Amino acid sequence: MSCASFSAAQHQASTLYLPPGSWATVLDCLCDHFKAISREQWLDRIARGRVLDSQGQPIALELGYREGLRIHYFREVPDEKVIPVQETILHVDEHLVVADKPHFLPVTPAGEYVEQTLLRRLIRRLDNPHLVPLHRIDRHTAGLVLFSANPDSRSAYQALFPTRQIEKRYEAIARALPELAFPLLHKSRLVDGEPFFRMQEVEGVSNTETLIDVREKHGDLWRYALYPVTGKKHQLRVHMSALGAAIANDPFYPEVLKDVEDDLGQPLKLLAQGLRFTDPLTGQAREFESRISLDW
């Protein structure tokens, strides 16, 4: 495997440094460490070259155990549920790929989703194992996701996000707030909440900011334009809920709706609608618009 191919594989694989123990082989260690995965599954993965050593080479079944040895393995979900939605590729060039992600499709592998993710789908469609997302949006959120397609230029584009050189525009549908004056800037301190997948506002110095405006009024529902200054997990969902206008069909805020199945007809009314930035390689202005629309 070439250096470039191995680098791409690393972005798709999980990494484990073998823990202390007295196993005879790496296989024995993996079976004991991941008790939910059967020995037969590990044997199958190794036979298919889905477990790699630190050099990116498929390991042998008899490879001896050594504490601290770095192993790369590809997560697999048996009988993974198909998500019946379709992404749209909006732009492809040597350095960037821009896609429109539908509601309910995760960006990257996590939990019960591996192949049914935007990243894996694009890798297959474009035959480019070097794709890496430059940012994330929630599984429940639809809209634009920007990918690096070239390892050589990746760091230049990655630097745009922490330095706030990308203007992101979202749209949301939520309860009308006639008692508030818009536009308004909502600031708060967000920390991990309960359950583990939620965020919550707490007292203290703010670490999040969102500029919120009203784009359209439709009876008891309004269409809001959201401009996140920062990019914390669930920031827009928490901020809108804190104002008293939780985004329509939100299963997490203000309260978790337990045992809710994905309803393709009732998606979260949140859309990553626009991205604007100056290209760090060419100095040219770049702007992308989602083709997805939120209905009432």
Per-residue pLDDT tens listing for the chain (296 residues)? 544 444 444 446 788 999 999 999 999 999 999 887 889 889 988 988 889 998 889 999 999 999 999 999 887 776 788 899 999 999 999 999 999 999 999 998 877 787 899 998 999 899 998 999 999 999 999 999 999 999 999 999 999 999 999 999 999 999 999 999 999 999 999 999 988 889 999 999 999 999 999 999 999 999 999 999 999 999 999 999 999 999 999 999 999 987 778 899 999 999 999 999 999 999 999 999 999 999 99
Nearest-angstrom CA–CA distance, 164 and 260 = 35
* Residue 148 near residue 95 (C-beta atoms within 8 A): yes
Strands 199-202, 184-192: pairing kind: antiparallel
Reported as a single tens digit per residue, the pLDDT across 174-206 is 999 999 999 999 999 999 998 888 999 999 999
Name the phi and psi angles at 27, rounded to 5: -55, -45
**Domains plus CATH for the chain?**
3-73 (3.10.290.10), 88-289 (3.30.2350.10)
pLDDT number for residue 78: 67
Instruction: Bin 14: left if φ > 0, else alpha if -120 < ψ < 50, else beta.
Output: beta
Report the first-to-last Cα separation within the chain, whole angstroms. 51
- 68: left (phi > 0), else alpha (psi -120 to 50), else beta? left
Q: Which residues contact 261 (CB under 8 A, 6 or more apart)?
A: none
- When computed from its CA atoms, the radius of gyration of the chain, rounded to whole angstroms, is 22
**Residue in the structure block whose two tokens are 């959201």:** 226
